[in-house]
Amino acid sequence: MFTTVVALSVSIIPEGLPIVMTLVLAAGVWRMTKKNALVKKLQAVESLGQAKVIAVDKTGTVTKNEMIVKKIYTLNHEFFEVSGDGYNPKGDIVSTGNQAVIEDENLRLFFKLCALSANAGVIYSKQAKKWLASGDPTQAAMACLGQKFGFNKEELKKINPRIQEIPFDYKLKYHIVVNQVNNKHLATIVAAPEVLLKLSDLPQNKKDELYNIYENFASEGLRVLAVGYKHIKGELENSDIKNFVFLGFVGIQDTIRPEAKKALRVAEQAGMRVVMITGDNKTTALAIAKAVGIYKKGDEVLTNVEIEKLTEQELAAKLDKVSVFARITPEHKLKIIKAYRHKGEIVAMTGDGVNDAPPLVAADLGVAMGKIGTEVAKEASDIVLLDDNFGTIVTAIDEGRNIYKTIKKVILYLFSTSFGEVLTIGGALFMDLPLPILASQIIWLNFVTDGFLDVSLAMEPKEESLLNGKFYKPKKYLLDSQMVGRMFTMAVPMMIGSIAIFKAYYQIDMVKAWTMTLTVLAVFQWFNAWNCRHESKSIFQMKFFSNKLLLASTIVVFLLQLLAIYYPFMQKYLHTTGLSLYEWILIISVAGSIIVFEEIRKLISRLNQNMLW
């Protein structure tokens, strides 16, 4: 009895589960890497499949992060359109209003300052066979604009050396450079329009007019920058950051990724909600969100000013109606993520900057951009998107759900077979019968039969339509009521069939009875592995050869079972004896009952998907 208890303990404790789970996770991570999603932390995979909210950056995720100047407004000569292909510095600047004189000095100064302010440039890639940004895409677009007008950034800097720079700060929302021009110091400011208008020397009525033009640009989905200048003496001091001369607006287009709309539809079908977080102003953000489909009628847009006024609890109460967050800083991102967590939502968030590290860590799933992302953001993330593509997130979530489903299949198989063995022995003892299976035979079933089949079940191909409909997960445990119910429908036939066969033989030949019980339990497990391939689809609807490893493992364990029954050496240690053809037919017929029971349950499940066992 002590030996049997020890053997049962070995059977009940799924010592192979950690190995199989690691195998499932590693295989899933490998498949995700092939789809441009680099998983840094294995434990993130579970969150990946259960994400309910995806908070995405606009730039680089929803859009391509290829900044191209498309429209210009200058104070003196009104509107211009800029033609050209991507970052190619060749293109035309055409007036759309009054026929302005391109040689005008103020207009030349506007383009010259666009080139002088840029810390990036454009280069031609022979490998890609196109012009690419070298550095920050926004500043590369400014350099490209200046070059289209004939101002090469590198040549300009030799003639007009840079003396001082105030780098862009997301709080201040401006970038200032000071260059020596004609023996004078010229400060160039490139800023958010509302910031430069406050710092300019224009009268209020003109500022109001310019603000309306800015809003019109933004309503077309353009990122708008304002350019201005002032002459200074010596170095620029904080007290000098005022009274700039306003020169004009630059409307920069960031092309929406063509796959973004499709990925959004797939995410919504999967029961996930996509929200967009951007540093752009409200109008630009709304235009992009509408074009992609993130913003829908009745949704709300929250800005940084509104978020500042809300507590975390108040923000959490509003989140159900909000689909766009505009003018957001990393601190606001962190507050948004905490608010979603306060609601109990599992949230995935994308980020690329150094300051995005705290919200990336705070999110259930931090997703960093592989191309434009900083090393700090990548280090803080759980997953890195190698192609910075929103569609890749959805693909990775599909794989995450598959991993979660596969782990459940393996757990169901291991626990149901162990449960069947325990019920068989417990039932026999309750009926005052001898032990129907010996300790050595339990070890054989646990290590040989289970050992092959659970690994092959872990390699089950991905189920179809995992992104169709909501993905339900128990809040606390992997085992839910449906899984427990399935274990009973699998374990009870194992108990009844095994005890019935043992009872029929043990008074005639005990060794034969042990052999019959061992074999019928083994065949029960073979059939059960095929049962566990899908929770609702019939075993006869599944593609028989889709999991070749499971098919091969079934053949292997069958051959090993023959060895255990007919090979004298194995007969000695496992206490078995040879079986006749009739006995094999009896065993297969009895063991087939587990398929019948499970098929009935699956039929009921298909008729009523909400039924819980």
For 576-601, the pLDDT digits (tens) are: 999 999 999 999 999 999 999 989 88
pLDDT band at 612 (very low <50, low <70, confident <90, very high): very low
In this predicted structure, what is the pLDDT of residue 251? 95
Asked whether the predicted pLDDT for residue 44 surpasses 80, the reply is no
Q: Which two tokens stand for residue 310?
A: 């809300």
Contact 287, 149 (CB under 8 A): no
Query: If you average pLDDT over each of 17-26, 94-103, 213-222, which comes out highest?
Result: 213-222
| Active site (catalytic) residues | 57
Whether 98 has a pLDDT exceeding 60, the answer reads no
Which 3 state secondary structure label does DSSP give 295? coil
Assess whether pLDDT exceeds 80 at residue 105: no
pLDDT tens for each residue of 306-338: 999 999 899 999 999 999 999 988 889 999 999
Q: Report DSSP letters for 460-508, one per residue.
A: PPPPTTTTSS-----SS-S--HHHHHHHHHHHHHHHHHHHHHHHHHTTT
User: What pLDDT is attached to residue 25?
Assistant: 82
Q: In what order do the strands lie in the sheet with 78-82?
A: 93-95, 78-82, 63-74, 245-256, 223-232, 184-191, 174-181, 162-166
Output the DSSP codes for 304-336.
HHHHHHS-HHHHHHHGGGEEEEES--HHHHHHH
pLDDT digits 0-9 by tens, 119-157 = 998 898 888 788 888 888 899 999 999 998 889 888 888
**β-strand pairing of 347-351 with 53-57:** parallel
Question: Could you state, in order of their start, the residue ranges of all structural domains in the chain?
Answer: 2-15+403-607, 33-62+257-394, 63-254
Q: For the chain, what percent of residues have pLDDT higher than 70?
A: 94
Place of tokens 């990393």: 330
State mean pLDDT over 54-73: 87
Instruction: State residue 100's pLDDT score.
Output: 45
Q: Which amino acid is at 561?
A: Q
pLDDT tens-digit readout, 477-513? 667 777 888 888 899 999 999 999 999 999 999 999 9
- Domains 2-15+403-607 and 33-62+257-394 are alike in CATH topology: no
Dihedral, CA of residue 423, residue 424, residue 430 and residue 436, to nearest 10: -160
Q: Which CATH superfamily is domain 63-254 in?
A: Calcium-transporting ATPase, cytoplasmic domain N (3.40.1110.10)
Query: What confidence tier does 103 reach under pLDDT thresholds 50, 70, 90?
Result: low
Choice between 430 and 104, residue whose per-residue pLDDT is larger: 430
Residues contacting residue 513 through CB under 8 Å, at least 6 positions apart: 436, 501, 502, 504, 505, 506
One CATH from 3.30.565.10, 1.20.1110.10, 3.30.70.1520, 1.10.600.10 for 2-15+403-607: 1.20.1110.10
**pLDDT tier at 219, thresholds 50, 70, 90:** very high
As a whole-number percent, the residues of the chain with pLDDT over 90 amount to 39
Neighbours of 317 (CB within 10 A): 14
Least Cα distance to 229 among 70, 18, 75, 77 occurs for 75
| Higher per-residue pLDDT: 578 or 388 | 578
* 250-262 pLDDT tens trace: 999 988 888 888 8
Model pLDDT, residue 520: 95
Q: Residue 97: pLDDT band by 50, 70, 90 thresholds?
A: low
Let me know: does 132 contact 122? Beta carbons within 8 Å.
yes
- In CATH, which superfamily holds the domain spanning 33-62+257-394? HAD superfamily/HAD-like (3.40.50.1000)
Tell me what pLDDT residue 611 has.
46
In angstroms, the CA 601 to CA 389 distance is 41
Q: What is the average pLDDT value for the chain, to the nearest integer?
A: 87
